[in-house]
């Protein structure tokens, strides 16, 4: 990996870590003193993988980590290019006093969560920001797709990610622009084969079943993180029930003009009362997305602002919003933002651009879900065929930090939380 080569060069140049007598902890600062924020998450995850405990200091120096002072962790930090600071007993006492007296909290991290990314086999035309973040940070993950979601035991995963998939079975309406593209034809054929092999009449029915399995995974205690079109289309698939909102794509029949009125939002996680965009000639799924990126009425990008939550009273949203920047440039996706008048009561807005929600979270059953609009935090207008974002050029990306907050969130010690 690139980070290995970089550290080998650094060690060869004589780089060394300071030795502090009596040091017990290594502080991983997450404010602007950190050289590589993204790999700091990977270092913390690796530390948990080795059977060590760690702590997440919410709102202390932008969400810093405390790791045991061990030689192997020091070496791993050097390999990854992550800034660390040895902390002795007096330094630890000072940190804990600051945390106890301020709007902060020390959250124990106990176990590296098992991570899975839902991704189709022919996903190369798009870049998945979460996959890139995991690989750059050095966090292990497995991949799964419809056959695994339907046939495997999802409870083996603490955390599952969805990205730009279309769970309505309309192939993101890419036919409007890419009807003859080999990758789209391959995607259609593969989805149709999976639908046939599992006894579904068409791809929309397959995707509804997949969406319901994911719904049940969350209800049983799973952690779901979704970005881009997966946020909106998962909800549409869950609410559709017997309504065929993808008829024009599945069998060519005219769409139901009363589809919006027939939707049942009781099974949806985040949204309610949305109007479905049934016209196959309009490249939008519904009016949930406020930006409507691929329509003639597309809204311009601005910046979104993270809410400052109380770490003591709202530890979950505080974990999900730890960052060294509070205002972050927005970025498009097939679903970019969420109209707040389409949110269900109880949905927690974590970040907002103007009157639109960008980043939201909620509980469902024993589990949780988090939706983050947009496709790639460092590529505001990503297009199919664009080169992959090189995270080595963005090691301190505040947008990618929000993704990695979610990866470590399931590692937190389980206790009765207020949100």
pLDDT tens readout for residues 273-309:
999 988 877 888 899 999 998 888 999 999 999 999 9
* Pick from 260, 167, 159, 166: nearest CA to 209: 167
Average pLDDT of the residues of the chain: 90
Distances in Å between the Cα of 367 and the Cα atoms of 219, 222, 338 are 5, 5, 22
**Residue range of the domain that includes 299:** 115-411
Q: Are residues 20 and 146 in the same domain?
A: no
The pLDDT of residue 22 is above 80: no
Distance CA 268, CA 240 (A): 9
Domain assignment of residue 419, yes or no: no
Q: Are residues 369 and 403 in the same domain?
A: yes
Q: Are residues 235 and 365 in the same domain?
A: yes
State pLDDT tens for residues 348-363.
999 999 999 999 999 9
Per-residue pLDDT, 247: 79
Please name the residue ranges forming H helices in 220-265.
228-240, 247-250, 259-262
Domain assignment of residue 120, yes or no: yes
**Mean pLDDT (whole number) for 91-114:** 96
Question: How many distinct helices (H) and strands (E) make up the chain?
Answer: 14, 15
Distance CA 222, CA 161 (A): 11
* Pick from 362, 406, 210: nearest CA to 271: 362
State pTM to two decimals: 0.91
What confidence category does residue 253 fall into, taking pLDDT thresholds of 50, 70 and 90?
Answer: confident
Q: What region does 4 belong to: left with phi over 0, alpha with psi -120 to 50, or beta?
A: alpha
Our count of domains for the chain comes to 2
Q: Are residues 135 and 74 in the same domain?
A: no
β-bridge pairing 303-306 and 348-353: antiparallel
Q: Are residues 274 and 309 in the same domain?
A: yes
């Amino acid at each position: 990996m690139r980070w290995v080569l970089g550290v080998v060069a650094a060690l060869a140049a004589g780089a060394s870590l300071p030795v502090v007598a009596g040091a017990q902890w290594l502080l991983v600062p997450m404010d602007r003193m950190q050289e590589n924020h993204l790999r700091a998450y990977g270092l913390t995850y690796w530390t948990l993988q080795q059977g060590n405990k760690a702590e997440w200091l919410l709102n202390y120096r932008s969400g810093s980590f405390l790791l045991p002072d061990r030689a192997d962790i020091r070496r791993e930090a050097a390999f990854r290019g992550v800034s660390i600071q040895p902390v002795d007993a007096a330094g630890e006492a000072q940190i804990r006093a600051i945390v106890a007296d301020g709007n902060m909290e020390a959250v124990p991290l106990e176990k590296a969560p098992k991570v899975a990314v839902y991704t189709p086999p022919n996903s190369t035309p798009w870049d998945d920001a979460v996959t890139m973040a995991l690989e750059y940070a050095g966090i292990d993950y497995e991949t799964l797709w419809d056959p695994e979601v339907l046939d495997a035991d999802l409870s083996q995963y603490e955390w599952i990610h969805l990205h730009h998939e279309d769970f309505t079975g309309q192939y993101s309406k890419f036919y409007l622009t890419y009807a003859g593209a080999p990758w789209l034809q391959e995607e259609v054929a593969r989805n149709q084969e999976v639908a046939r092999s599992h006894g579904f009449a068409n791809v929309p029915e397959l995707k509804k079943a997949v969406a319901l399995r994911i719904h049940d995974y969350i209800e049983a205690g799973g952690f779901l993180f979704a970005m881009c079109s997966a946020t909106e289309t998962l909800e549409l698939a869950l609410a559709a029930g017997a309504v065929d909102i993808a008829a024009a794509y599945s069998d060519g029949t005219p769409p139901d003009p009363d589809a919006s009125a027939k939707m049942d939002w009781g099974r949806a996680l985040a949204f309610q009362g949305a109007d479905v965009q049934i016209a196959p000639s309009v490249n939008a799924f519904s009016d949930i997305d406020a930006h409507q990126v691929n329509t003639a009425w597309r809204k311009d990008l601005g910046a979104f602002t993270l809410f400052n939550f109380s770490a003591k009273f709202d530890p979950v949203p505080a974990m999900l919003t730890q960052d060294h920047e509070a205002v972050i440039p927005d970025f498009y996706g097939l679903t970019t933002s969420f109209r707040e008048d389409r949110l269900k009561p109880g949905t927690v807005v974590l970040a907002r651009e103007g009157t639109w929600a960008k980043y939201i979270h909620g509980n469902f059953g024993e589990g949780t879900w988090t939706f983050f609009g947009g496709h790639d935090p460092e590529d505001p207008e990503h297009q199919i065929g664009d080169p992959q974002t090189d995270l080595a050029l963005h090691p301190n990306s505040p947008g990618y930090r929000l993704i990695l907050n979610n990866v470590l969130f399931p590692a937190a010690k389980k206790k009765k939380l207020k949100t």
